[in-house]
Amino acid sequence: MKIANEIKNYQNVINGNRTHSSSGKQIDSIDPSTGNVWATIPCSTVEDAESAVLSARNAFEGWSSLSAIERADYLRRIGDLIVQHGEELAELETRDNGWVIRETSYGLIPSLASYWYDAAGATAVGSKGDTVQLGSTSVGYTLREPFGVIVGILPWNAPLFTFTVKAAYALAAGNTIIIKPSELASVSSLRYGELINEILPPGVLNVVSGDGVEVGSTLVSHPLVNRVSLTGSGATARSIAQSTAGNPKPMTFELGGKSPNIVFEDADLEKAAQGVTLNGIFTGNAGQLCTGGSRILIQRSIFEDMISKMKEVMTEYNKLGDPMHPESAMGPIANAIHYEKVCSYIELGKKEGGEIILGGRHGGQNLLPDSPHLSEGYWVEPTLIKVTSNSLRICQEEIFGPVATVIPFDTEEEAISMANDTAYGLGAGVWTTNLNRAHRMIRKLESGNVWVNTFRTVGPELPFGGHKSSGYGVDSVLEFTREKTCYIEIG
């Protein structure tokens, strides 16, 4: 493994201060495009985690006692600060997990600011209750109160986005929060925490990096932690549930997906071809997204025509390359462990009888021979695998990379059955010009999010959550409050 010329050391943020791990140990952060170490993060300990919890608990009373208007002012100022530091944050996110700079700069950063501004407006929503006249001499009302200390567990594929949706709405509701980023991609979150703490009172927001088993378990099971919000894998969710069994607390789980992207014969095929490829699975972060449309279902009458159009789109638009280059359309797999997993699924697809109709290669030396500095990076070519059955492992298991299966279907009923034939239920896409069909599909698809003639559109205007094994709950100001009922006799 090579070491970059300049290694920057990042630190935790606890009680408003940048702090090293109490053990003094660091974890290497690897640039996935090159395979080189480019930064280090704290390998935090149980003591560091407990320090963060105490910091958040001590800050809770002061933060929660602020009026909604006062909290909103803090959150708006954070949004302004994010815009000011957008270029730096975009570069850190790209360097840390390979998401191409043209998307982190022009799509991600403005989105982060908009969530902070929306959360500022939502502070009043989290402060409102209802009043009920129970009788001539009695009245009842409800209060919405913050839980207390929230722990937000982040994934490595989109740390800044998930950091934002958890922290912004938790803080809007009057909670304090501890963010635990993945040890595989913590740099952008640690710097984000530093910036936010230029605005917030000490202890309101803390960021602690380190091993999930030691640090994560300590945080979620701590008796002073009142709620947990995870974006991650089903395995992590099960581990959290087990570790909190002796001290139950509310949880929000946004987990994996195996989203179907369904194209009917009456669809606008040009638009659908881009939607199921560039927007659906062959994205700037190499298909490493929980909503990725990794099962492309195409009506048999247009199957070959649609495949041809998808190949044309990929040939024209999808360019692998250095994620820091503004013309690169797709970056690498975010880490070595996951790179091996994605490659193994491509081989599994062949063994299961799938036909690779696009891509299938991997490795920087094979895909980017003219860029020797990228030869050791974790590169996988956009890959389409044609299959005839949805029962194959590559159709049922989450690959989480630029790999999609293509499956023909004949009838609407068959498409629905195939789409729902998975343990997951996070996202689904429908491409049709038939309005009646669109509404039927929306009702029958077992998914928390359904997109019609578009895919992966998200924003603060609508909730985002999953069904089935894709989790439950959403990160919103109301989810971060609990309701208290009061009865008053006034006679």
Active site residues: 180, 254, 290, 398
Residue 343 is encoded by which pair of tokens? 């490659």
Q: Please check whether residue 298 is in contact with residue 414, taking contact to mean a CB–CB distance below 8 angstroms.
A: no
H/E stretch holding 146 reads strand 138-146
H/E stretch holding 358 reads strand 355-358
Q: Which residue bears the tokens 């002796």?
A: 246
Q: Please check whether residue 413 is in contact with residue 69, taking contact to mean a CB–CB distance below 8 angstroms.
A: no
Distance (Å, whole) CA 28 – CA 38: 8
Beta bridge partner(s), residue 135: 138
Residue 424 is encoded by which pair of tokens? 């997951």
Q: Is the dihedral of CA 337, 29, 200, 46 positive or negative?
A: positive
Distances (CA, A) of 182 to 74, 164, 413: 27, 15, 40
Q: Quickly list H helices, 128-268.
A: 159-172, 187-196, 217-221, 234-243
Distance (Å, whole) CA 381 – CA 360: 6
Could you tell me which residues come within 8 angstroms of residue 439 by beta carbon, excluding any fewer than 6 positions away? Answer: none
- 3-class state of residue 31 by DSSP: strand
Distance (Å, whole) CA 147 – CA 342: 39
187-196 and 86-97 are packed helices; what angle lies between their axes, rounded to 10 degrees?
Answer: 160
Distance (Å, whole) CA 443 – CA 445: 6
Beta bridge partner(s), residue 117: none
Residue 403 is encoded by which pair of tokens? 């790999």
Could you tell me which residues come within 8 angstroms of residue 145 by beta carbon, excluding any fewer than 6 positions away? Answer: 64, 174, 481, 482, 483, 484
Q: Please check whether residue 136 is in contact with residue 491, taking contact to mean a CB–CB distance below 8 angstroms.
A: yes
User: What percent of the residues of the chain are helix, what percent strand, and what percent coil, each to the nearest 5?
Assistant: 40, 25, 40
